[in-house]
Amino acid sequence: MDELNGKLIACQILITGLIARVANEQRDPLRFLTDFRDEIKAVVKGVNIAGMDQTDRVRAVAQKTVDELFSLMKPPSSD
């Protein structure tokens, strides 16, 4: 289980770096990140979770993960 958690954390870090890289190439990186975050949250909110009794809990954990992912990103520097 620890190995799986480590791999998931590594994937989150990789995705965060990728999103930040794409955002830095945009004219308005903050707006891009905000729009992207909102789109991801909408997907998580609307995704169909089959075969589970507690889909609300799974959805809440997914929303929390999205929030954590975007909280890792800081605003672009003024340099």
Is 29 inside a domain boundary?
Answer: yes
Q: What is the pLDDT of residues 19-42, one digit of tens each?
A: 888 888 888 888 888 888 888 888
Domain that holds residue 13: 2-46+54-71
Residue 19 lies in a domain: yes
Question: Confidence class of residue 14 from pLDDT cuts 50, 70 and 90?
Answer: confident
Q: Is residue 67 part of a domain?
A: yes
Region 60-77 average pLDDT: 77
Kindly report the CA angle at 11 between 29 and 78, in degrees rounded to 5? Answer: 25
Give a yes or no: residue 17 inside a domain. yes
Residue 68 burial class via C-beta count within 10 angstroms: exposed 0-12, middle 13-18, buried 19 and up: exposed
pTM over cut 0.85: no
